[in-house]
Amino acid sequence: MINEVDAHQRTVRRSFSVLILSFFLSWMAVPLAVAGESGPSAYVQFQDVIARAKSLAQELFEAPGQDLSETLKKLGYDQWRNIRFKPAQSLWSGKPFNVQFFHPGFLYQHPVTVHYVDRDGTHEVPFSSDLFEYEDKDLKERVSHDHGFAGFRIHYPLNTPKYADELVAFLGASYFRALGRGLSYGMSARGLAVNTAEDTGEEFPLFREFWLVRPLSGAKSITLYALLDSVSVTGAYEYTIFPGEETVMKVRSTLFVRQDIRKLGIAPLTSMFCYGEN
């Protein structure tokens, strides 16, 4: 097991977003909560996600989404972009923090399971095509209701109290990015980098499950947990997000290694680049 890592991620005011992360090492005990046999499960806490990651590390890696339909796998960029989430269907719609979801397909072929945690326990958010508007109406009829989501984005009235802006997005592998007030997206962060620039090829761990903790009324932050998985490593992540002029993300993680890793990158950042004759 790799020691738990605390990370502070800050969006810097530039012409684009820059994420800066600083880390502090610590250790945490791992008690395990027991889920109920029916109805909502018990309150999931970070310790429970750590226990899930530890248990998962004893099994062989199996990528999610193997049963994703060929129809969704073959979607082009424009086709995927023409599937739009219905804002009225947002989780916690009308609240300062609310959540919208991304549809699986195109590049996003590893659906994730999303739960939310409130005073009544832990609940899974079921995927449904009814949550989305499809420009191609025939496509909706070919979409199964048992898919997970590709990811999600958290909205918050960042720039004006009259409108809930996109604040944070988790989409694709273990990628995530955040916005500060008045900014546009730039660099993305990743949960982990494994064997980057090695001759064996880079490994891209993915987040396969999330738990969103419902903020109390008047809360100025939101917390979520994520379960990371890959061929070589599993991990549990806790994100506490403080929106503002500089959006701050406090990140804690605990990792479990399945097999030897030649190069491990903590708090990797990724950006687009230009390539060509010029």
pLDDT digits (tens, 9 = 90+) for 240-250: 999 999 999 99
What are 18-30's pLDDT values in tens digits? 233 323 222 232 3
Q: Is residue 41 very low, low, confident or very high in pLDDT (cuts 50, 70, 90)?
A: low
Over 80: is that where the pLDDT of 81 sits?
yes
pLDDT for 186-198, tens place per residue? 889 999 999 998 9
Q: How many Cβ atoms are within 10 Å of 190's Cβ, its own excluded? A: 21
Q: According to the model, what pLDDT value does residue 278 have? A: 66
Q: Maximum CA pair distance of the chain?
A: 61
* Tens digit of each residue's pLDDT (9 = 90 or more) over 125-180: 999 999 999 999 889 888 877 788 999 999 999 999 999 999 999 999 999 999 99
Quickly state the pLDDT bin for 33 (edges 50, 70, 90).
very low
**Cβ atoms of 33 and 45 closer than 8 Å:** yes
Cα 122 from Cα 57, distance rounded (Å): 23
**Tell me, what's the pLDDT at 3?**
42
- Does the model's pTM come out above 0.85? no
CA distance to 53, 81, 218, per residue, from 248 (Å): 25, 29, 18
Picking from 156, 265, 162, 260, the residue whose alpha carbon sits closest to that of residue 204 is: 265
